[in-house]
Amino acid sequence: MKNLFYKSMNIVVVLAMVLGASCAKDGEDGLDGAIGAQGPQGEQGPKGDPGDNAQVEEMAVFGQWEVIEGQLGVDASKLLYINEDNTLNILSEDQMGFKRAYTTNITVTSEQITMSGESYGVSINNYILDNDILTIFPPGEAEPTVLQKIENGPNPSEWVKSLTILAEGVVPWERDVDITFDGEYLLGFNENEGDILRINPDDFSIVDNIPTTRAAYAVEIEKSDAPTRQLFQSSNGSSNFYSYIYSSNSLYYTSENLGSWIRGIASIEPGLLWVSSSSAESLYQYKSNGSLSPGEILETIPLDIQPGGLDYRNGYLYITERNYIHKCQTTPEFKALETYEVKGHSIDGVTHDGTNFWLSAESWEGNTHKLLKVDLP
């Protein structure tokens, strides 16, 4: 009986040792389990994965896009660059080749692009991304814009090229004025005094003035060496321009009716002109018959812009428009070839001194009107 008792006790002891070892092992598993308790956080990983995927989708929106249907932000928008620095470039070009470039700030999420630049205010645009097709839904009742992803699109700095200012001087006029060059001086209309100023391009001093009865916001010297060389003048909102003999300041003829608000006049050769009307959004090629008759319109070119000042040089017509100056061919068909800008300025007028182009411009800083000599090709 005693031996049986001790055998029983040994079995109990062995079982206790086994159970103790097992408990100790279970205790270690418990520690592992405590670590495993972080498992729910680990399980959030899959939940986090969609967030990561959403970030991948959001990043996929960044890049270069070509408009294949609709418009966004501006007319004739052609390319959109959604940049990772939270800016948006909109590059536009109409059927005649007139280009513009706009930049605005944006905020991008997995579902929306919010524009917040000064030009656009705040505009919330929903979008859907399907592989390389991006569909943007502007607010309101505007039609969706459909875009195709592209690579190696043109650089915005090449789309609209920036000009360098070579010299500049402040002028007294206080609004948009087209200018001209008479071989020695720059000419422009000063509405404050109601006359045309002759300005020294070396130091921007006012040499003298030419009296006029016109509100001649556009002036042009005829490309001619004749003693009867003419000075053409617009007159505020009139649909006519007026020719004066430059040497005597005497009226030579009044043109036929063109579009109102003539903003630019450009001499091609003696007796032949280009004239712009901002109201009619048109260009006119005009043939003068001198004092015998008012002349005739040879060609009218409708535009989708409001043209400003003009200059004709070496077979190209230069047209100012808002912040831009467009270099255009006129034959065999009319087409804008290049577009330029001067950062921080609107451009109202253009002329050439035989070496360099000059612009009549308004600085956005202080709304100061200036003459700018630039490296326009």
pLDDT of residue 5: 34
Instruction: Check whether 241 has a pLDDT greater than 90.
Output: yes
Q: Model confidence over 338-373: pLDDT tens digits?
A: 999 999 999 999 999 999 999 999 999 888 999 999
Cα 366 → chain centroid: 21
What DSSP string describes 243-278?
Answer: EEETTTTEEEEEPPP--SSEEEEEEEETTEEEEEET
Q: Model confidence over 72-83: pLDDT tens digits?
A: 878 899 999 999
- Between 56 and 167, residue with greater pLDDT: 167
- Determine whether domain 161-374 maps to CATH 3.40.50.720: no
> Do the beta carbons of residue 363 and residue 323 sit within 8 Å?
no
Give the Cβ contact number of residue 349 at 10 Å: 29
pLDDT of residue 2: 38
Question: In the chain, which residues fall in CATH 2.40.128.490?
Answer: 61-158
> Do the beta carbons of residue 362 and residue 368 sit within 8 Å?
yes
Residue 272 CA to residue 274 CA, distance in Å, equals: 7
Question: In the chain, which residues fall in CATH 2.120.10.30?
Answer: 161-374
Sort 62 into a burial class: Cβ within 10 Å, 0-12 / 13-18 / 19+: middle
CATH class of the region 61-158: mainly beta
pTM: 0.83
Instruction: Check whether 36 has a pLDDT greater than 60.
Output: no
Q: How confident is the model at residue 103 (pLDDT cuts 50, 70, 90)?
A: very high
